[in-house]
Amino acid sequence: MSVHAWPLIAFTILAQMSVGMFVVLGIVHYFVVNKYSIAEADQMSSYALLAIGPALVLGLLASLIHLGTPYIAFLAVTNLATSWLSWEILLGVLFAILGGIFAIMQWRKIGSFALRNVVAWLAAIDGIGLVYVMSRIYRQPTIPSWNTTLTTISFYTTALLLGVVGVGAAFVAGYAYLKRQNPDCTQELCMVLQQTMRGISISAIVLLGVEFVVFPVYLSYLANSSATAAIAASMTGIFSPIFVTRLALAFLGAGLLAVYLYRTSLSAERVQVMGYVSYAVFGLVLISEVLGRFLFYASYISIGV
Amino acid sequence: MTKQYALYFDSSSCTGCKACQIACKDKNNLEVGVLWRRVYSVTGGDWVSTGNAWTSQAFAYELSISCNHCQDPLCVHVCPTTAMHKRDDGIVLVDASKCIGCKYCEWVCPYGAPQYDPSKGKMTKCNLCEDYLAEGGNPACVDACVMRALDFGELSELQAKYGTVDNIFPLPLGSTTQPALVITPHKDARRTQYESAKITNMEEI
């Protein structure tokens, strides 16, 4: 497994992060529109939106590296009748298209607010479906270590956690850019940023809690069956350095630093520090999730030979 | 009833000479590392202390496995391009023109049947020597076996002749994919149910 899985690690992480960021951005946008104005909300979210597209396209390109014959990759959507993998590619590409259309409509202000909303909803629903379909690919009766709803739960948790911290980092980057462009515009935006960051840090801590419930449940799931006991042993044996690092980084990023992020978001003087912390949280969580996905692929075991 | 070609393997008489595996490689001109038929050497048991003596209660047997052309083939279900397909006569084949080399079939197959060929960028697998069958012959592996441990035919006929065992260690229960496979177990195969056993030639597979 190991080396061959890297394109898939990149693809699944990037695609899930894109879906998570899109959904989280939608939620944040909704709150900002209600509390402030559409102008503020649009200003902030348009930069975050810019980060999602390339991440997804990069992920889709990475998935091509996994293929032996990438130039006929388009054929991958031709078995929708029985293959979850066909659905993954269909929904993945559709998400890219819908998200791209929405982003262009949003930037150029094409169509009414309501119409753009419809496109955004379609993209979000597609994305949520995509994460589910991705998880179903791995839930196969001959692969006991993956054949559990925990696979689906952990994929959604990854999507949301990366989405939350990704939007945080993107907002900070967008805010820094806006501030350079026009130093006067920062007052309201600064408040939007701070408030968003509070929501983001709390969400990250909650999602970390979910992950820390899922880990032990998954380990005991593996340990409790003779078919997968060897995998549980490898997670606490040969892979334990990676496993421990993954947990430590998640705790550091989405736990300790998220608390610090919340505290820095309370005062306007510390916006700069808050920005750095937000980047750090994103970096740590991203590495942690990549390691987690590596372990997921490393946990492959067949019921046969 | 629809046609379902199947393979028979007699574990009680196989010596593990691998003539089947080599005949397969030769006939199908397979790259190094690509094995459409694999011979697994299984060993188990231990030396047991009885009084002042140590007695060997170790056991060993061989298992020659290709593709079982399953009646409910998971590889066919998961293939995103329908390159992996099941023919009317039961043979599971890869249509190379459609295969994108995603290796998903390799993951899900519990028999190690789909064998990826990096030089082609395609998944390859046992085709039961369909060209030989068309001429009324047998698969190359069956004819190459010096111990007459392999046989080929219609699944129902093989079952009538040899019984309905379709799994011994380390194969999974047949209920998952309904393999078109009939096995005469080695006498010690049942010991794997309560004694530790392992495949000892993993580097050959």
The residues pairing with A78 across neighbouring beta strands, listed in sequence order, are: none
- Going by their DSSP bridges, the two strands B38-44 and B115-117 should be labelled as unpaired
Residues in contact with B199: Cβ distance below 8 Å, sequence separation at least 6, in sequence order: A305, B40, B41, B42, B170, B205
CA distances from A176 to A2, A54, A267 (A): 39, 20, 17
Spatial separation of the C-alpha atoms in residues A52 and A18, rounded to whole Å:
5
Reported CATH class of domain B5-75+126-204: alpha beta
% of chain B surpassing 70 pLDDT: 100
| Closest chain B residue by Cα to residue A7 | B102
Report chain A (305 residues): mean pLDDT per 10 consecutive residues. Answer: 78 98 95 87 86 94 96 97 98 97 93 93 98 98 97 98 97 89 76 93 98 96 93 93 96 97 91 94 98 96 93
Q: Do B82 and A78 touch (CB under 8 A)?
A: yes
SS3 category, B151: strand
SS3 category, A287: helix
Residue B55 pLDDT: 93
Neighboring chain A residues of B38 at a CB cutoff of 8 Å: 305
Neighboring chain A residues of B170 at a CB cutoff of 8 Å: 304-305
SS3 category, A304: coil
Spatial separation of the C-alpha atoms in residues A278 and A285, rounded to whole Å:
11
At B142, is the pLDDT very low, low, confident or very high (cuts 50, 70, 90)?
very high
Q: Do B78 and A140 touch (CB under 8 A)?
A: yes
Q: Which domains does chain A have, with CATH numbers?
A: 5-298 (1.20.1630)
Assign residue B103 a region (left: φ > 0; alpha: ψ between -120 and 50; beta: otherwise): left
Closest Cβ–Cβ partner in A66, A73, A140 for B74: A140
Residue A184 pLDDT: 66
Give A 37-76 residues with CB within 8 A of chain B.
66-70, 72-73, 75-76
Spatial separation of the C-alpha atoms in residues A194 and B185, rounded to whole Å:
70
Most B CBs within 10 A among A69, A77, A78, A225, hence the mutation to make, goes to A69
Report whether pLDDT(B1) > 80: no
Neighboring chain A residues of B37 at a CB cutoff of 8 Å: none
Report whether pLDDT(B101) > 50: yes
| Closest chain A residue by Cα to residue B174 | A304
**DSSP code per residue over A219-256:** HHHHHTSTTTHHHHHHHTTTTHHHHHHHHHHHIIIIII
C-alpha distance from A139 to closest chain B C-alpha (Å): 10
ipTM of the complex model: 0.94
More confident: B97 or A179: B97
C-alpha distance from B9 to closest chain A C-alpha (Å): 17
Neighboring chain B residues of A70 at a CB cutoff of 8 Å: 100
Q: What is the mean pLDDT of residues B94-98?
A: 98
The residues pairing with B47 across neighbouring beta strands, listed in sequence order, are: B56
C-alpha distance from B103 to closest chain A C-alpha (Å): 8
C-alpha distance from B98 to closest chain A C-alpha (Å): 7
Spatial separation of the C-alpha atoms in residues B118 and B136, rounded to whole Å:
32
C-alpha distance from A215 to closest chain B C-alpha (Å): 24
Q: Where are the domains of chain B?
A: 5-75+126-204
Q: Structure pTM?
A: 0.95
Please say whether the beta carbons of A164 and A193 come within 8 A.
Answer: no
Dmax over CA atoms of chain A, in Å, equals: 66
Residue A1 pLDDT: 43
For residue A111, give both structure tokens.
Answer: 């169509």
| Closest chain B residue by Cα to residue A70 | B100
